[in-house]
Structure 1
Amino acid sequence: MEALAAAVTPLNRCPCGTGETLDECCGRLHSGEAKAATAEQLMRSRFSAFAVGDEAYLLSSWHSSTRPAELDLDPGQRWTALEIIGKSRGGPFDKEGTVEFRAHYREGRTAGVLHENSTFTRENGHWVYVDGTQSPRG
């Protein structure tokens, strides 16, 4: 993970695909400078956290009832692109929402896609990831 995290700097484009720099976009959420205003924004920031290997952010943005005790991210897996397919609720004034997405990755020379419909809710006033249903087809 350290090699990947070192390759992504605050001035690189954010892995979530907005076109902004990591520092202007998801980096603000990772550092705690800002909080996600929507479920989609939290989902994007979590994808970026996977891309840069920020396990602490992933755990802190996970609902307390479903959060694992620890994460063991695969250093051979490189998250390369995010596609938002759809969303339901999850806006600034909602209490829950879902985001369907495709997260593209590489493991060595093999490309893969994680297709998931993720559930988000507010916990202590902040958006958090609850769980997701994966599609067998990317």
Structure 2
Amino acid sequence: MKPLPCPCGHAAAGRVLSYADCCGRYIEHVTSMPAPDAERLMRSRYSAFVLQRADYLLATWHASARPARLDFEPGARWLGLQVRVQCQTGPDAAEVEFVARQRLPGGRAWRLHERSRFVREDGRWYYVDGDIFE
């Protein structure tokens, strides 16, 4: 059986990594294997949106901004992710700019272009918030 490609589309040596070798290790083992940096946390959060894993998304959302619950758009499909910029903004802070494409019910396409902010606490990275570009 061929391994499932990772929804985030991260590639190495010209091929997309498998879910198990990429975001799956963080999503499936959130308590024992945190994402090692902000970019990989952002990629794994994108994959969690694709897979509708609210448990992972809420666990990796900083407590200061975490919603009480998370609902997914019924019938929406995530189509791809492009990471544009990743930079450390401090010893325990980083930003990742990305574009995620989605097809909404009814066929309308939508792009989320965001610069997300992340913080590291007790060795774990968390999503805090982001600025959305129109």
Q: Same fold (TM over 0.5)?
A: yes
TM range (shorter): 0.7 to 0.9
Q: Cα offset for 1:34?
A: 2.2
**In structure 2, C-alpha distance between the alignment counterparts of 1:104 and 1:60, rounded to whole Å:** 23
| 1:12 corresponding residue in structure 2 | 4
Is 1:60 the equivalent of 2:59? yes
- 2:56 aligns to what SS in structure 1? helix
Secondary structure at 1:86's aligned position in 2?
A: strand
List aligned pairs for 1:1-138, cutoff 5 A.
11-18=3-10, 19-32=16-29, 33-89=32-88, 94-108=91-105, 109-136=107-134
2-structure distance, mates of 1:21, 1:77: 23
Query: What secondary structure does 2:45 align onto?
Result: helix
Runs of 4+ in structure 1 displaced over 3 angstroms?
none
Q: Is the 8 A contact 1:63 1:123 kept in 2?
A: no
Describe the superposition over 1:65-108 as per-residue Cα deviations: whole angstroms up to 9, x where unpaired: 00000001112211110001112117xx9311000000011113
Q: More helix by proportion, 1 or 2?
A: 1
User: How many pairs align?
Assistant: 125
Residue matched to 1:3: none
Query: 2:84 is aligned with what amino acid?
Result: I
- Matched residues in 1 for 2:36 and 2:91: separation? 10
User: Aligned Cα RMSD in Å?
Assistant: 1.7
Distance in 2 between residues matched to 1:31 and 1:16, nearest whole Å: 15
Amino acid at match of 1:73: F
Deviation at 1:118, TM superposition (A): 0.1
Which secondary structure state, in structure 2, belongs to the residue aligned with residue 80 of structure 1?
A: strand
The one-letter code matched in structure 2 to 1:132 is G
1:11: how far off?
2.4
TM-score (norm 1): 0.85
